Amino acid sequence: MITLGIDIGSRNTKIALYDSQAAKILYSAYRATAVSPLETVLELTREAFSRLGMQAADAVACTGYGRKLYPQPDKILSEISCHAAGVRFFHPEARTIIDIGGQDAKIITLEEDGRVRDFVMNDKCAAGTGRFLEMTALRLGCTLDELSSQAELATQNLAINSTCVVFAESEIIGLIAANVQPAEIIRAVHESIAGRVLTQISGLQYAPPLVFTGGVAQNSALVNCLARQLQAPISVPPDPEITAALGAALLVSR
């Protein structure tokens, strides 16, 4: 049985094709969500089926902000359950999941058997999300990919005190005007995001092992900041962007 998991996010749309008999991922991909999210899904699936020599999957499950846009999936699933299943595929021992995407951040705690115990979600404010990093890169004239390496060059421990991205941007503008080096500002932004996660997670009874997923998990400097502030090692799946899509494909195969 080959299943298709689709995660239609506010920033990116992700898909994963899973072979339940072989217990392996056949294909995964993602791209920016277009004005028409359904068209993005169709483009991704057409390319996937073409590469695999398939006409269609045996079952389809959808998750994410746009999960109800796909016509007649076999299952519509919550992001929480999908992230839990996708992360456990890579890290069966995971007990706490930190998921940071372009527009929201989630902390999910799991029972020993992988069932969701509890979660908290920040989807009303851009602080603590990928949007904060995007704004920083724009203000400093660099790419998102450059942020991580720049943060590692910092030698000071500056603080950005605003918990709102709008006010934090004003702080960044002030630091630029004061000739503070970009690396120092970028490091401060990373520490600010990690601090926001620390505030979120403190409301839960969380336990190690901790796994960081979502597109922002590809930022190694933020991984290091989180590990330092949480005082615990943090693992990252091989492809953290697609864990929810993979989880959807896994859950629909059961």
Q: What is the pLDDT of residue 162?
A: 82
| Residue ranges of the chain assigned to CATH 3.30.420.40 | 1-91+238-254, 95-236
Q: What is the pLDDT of residue 198?
A: 94
Q: What is the pLDDT of residue 64?
A: 95
**Does 3.30.70.1450 match the CATH number of domain 95-236?**
no
Q: Which CATH number describes the domain made up of 1-91+238-254? A: 3.30.420.40
Q: Are 209 and 96 in contact (CB under 8 A)?
A: yes
Q: What is the pLDDT of residue 163?
A: 76
The distance between the two most distant Cα atoms of the chain, rounded to a whole number of Å, is 60
Q: What is the pLDDT of residue 153?
A: 95
Which residues on adjacent β-strands are paired with residue 28? 16
Which residues on adjacent β-strands are paired with residue 7? 14, 63
Q: What is the pLDDT of residue 81?
A: 97
Q: What is the pLDDT of residue 166?
A: 87
CA angle 74, 102, 229 (to 5 degrees): 115
Q: What is the pLDDT of residue 123?
A: 66
Q: Are 28 and 17 in contact (CB under 8 A)?
A: yes
Mean pLDDT per 10-residue interval, the chain, length 254 residues: 96 96 97 94 97 97 94 96 98 97 92 96 80 94 94 92 86 95 96 93 95 95 96 96 98 95
Sheet with 96-100: list strands edge to edge.
116-122, 105-110, 96-100, 210-213, 234-235
Q: What is the pLDDT of residue 165?
A: 84
Instruction: Confirm whether pTM is higher than 0.85.
Output: yes
Q: What is the pLDDT of residue 157?
A: 87
CA–centroid distance for 202 within its chain: 20
The token pair at 97 is 């999941």
